[in-house]
């Protein structure tokens, strides 16, 4: 299955995603340059810590790029509607197209998206059925990278010994305190914001309710149409990530395919 790219022409969205990329670039450059690599060269921290930091940074960037360019579930101009599912489709009053129930028309993107959760300006893309799993990965890896950055900033202030090979005349050495303070502030903001967002997203997924449905009080109708059946959290997340293999839930460099479960659900670890 090929990766479908999706680009939104929105100057405000470009500005927001540029800010997110600038924050990632700042913490991925200054923190290793000021804290991680100097203490590694002097033998104060193990090489595994350096590898983990760069791995978290790389996964965060890949998740950002994938979430911002992946097709969220845009409906084609002339969708094929199976005869058995026609009752589950409705007419969009904005673009005059047939769409499945729980789809929503995004005024920012100008088209309908299957099971749209919300439009996120920070990735300049909608969060829908086909890229919700990437948005979850972005929230998760941003938390990991922010927490990693905060831990390194804290250790630099209160734990690590002063560096013996530091060039005191270098720009980064003279402005070390200010640079690390900026990094710590950005780490706190990103970790707090992403933790709250990740919690609300997981709560919505596990209760089978999108952000738009919460805002429009549509959850009662959805809950009433479910027939009282409640899916397990493994099956719910497997449907979002497109695989029952839990290890693949953490890998952004792959494609997602819709799952159809038999009566007996089996999960892989």
Residues with catalytic annotation?
120
d(Cα 184, Cα 178) in Å, to the nearest integer? 10
CA separation, residue 123 to residues 54, 69, 103, 138 (Å)? 22, 8, 20, 10
Tokens for 175, please give them. Answer: 């402005």
- What is the C-alpha R_g of the chain? 22
Exposure string over 207-218, b if 16+ CB within 10 A, otherwise e: ebbbbbbbeeee
What is the dihedral sign for C-alpha 151, 120, 123, 18? negative
d(Cα 219, Cα 206) in Å, to the nearest integer? 13
CA separation, residue 156 to residues 38, 56, 172 (Å)? 11, 20, 14
Tokens for 210, please give them. Answer: 């999108």
Tokens for 155, please give them. Answer: 């250790």
Name the one residue in this structure whose structure tokens are 């952004």: 252
Torsion, Cα 212 65 172 191, to 10 degrees, reads 30
Name the one residue in this structure whose structure tokens are 């959760």: 117
What is the dihedral sign for C-alpha 108, 15, 73, 249? negative
């Amino acid at each position: 299955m090929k990766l479908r790219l999706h680009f939104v022409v929105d100057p405000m969205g470009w500005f927001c995603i540029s800010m997110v990329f600038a924050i990632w670039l700042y913490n991925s450059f200054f923190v290793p340059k000021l804290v991680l690599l100097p203490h590694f060269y002097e033998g104060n921290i193990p090489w595994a810590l350096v590898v983990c930091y760069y791995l978290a940074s790389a996964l965060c960037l890949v998740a950002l790029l994938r979430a911002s360019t992946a097709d969220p579930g845009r409906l084609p101009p002339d969708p094929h509607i199976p005869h058995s599912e026609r009752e589950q489709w409705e007419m969009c009053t904005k673009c005059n197209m047939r769409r499945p129930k729980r789809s929503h028309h995004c005024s920012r993107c100008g088209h309908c998206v299957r099971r749209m959760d919300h439009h996120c300006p920070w990735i300049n893309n909608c969060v829908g059925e086909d890229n919700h799993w990437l948005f979850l990965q972005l929230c998760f890896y941003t938390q990991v990278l922010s927490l990693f950055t905060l831990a390194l900033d804290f250790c630099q202030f209160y734990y690590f010994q002063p560096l013996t090979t530091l060039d005191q005349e270098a720009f980064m050495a003279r402005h070390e305190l200010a640079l690390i303070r900026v990094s710590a502030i950005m780490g706190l903001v990103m970790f707090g914001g992403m933790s709250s967002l990740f919690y609300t997203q997981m709560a919505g997924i596990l209760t089978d309710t999108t952000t738009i449905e919460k805002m429009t009080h549509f959850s009662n109708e959805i809950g009433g149409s479910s027939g009282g059946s409640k899916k397990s959290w493994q099956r719910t997340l497997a449907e979002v990530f497109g695989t029952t293999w839990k290890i693949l839930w953490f890998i952004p460099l792959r494609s997602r395919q819709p799952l159809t479960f038999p009566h007996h659900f089996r999960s892989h670890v």
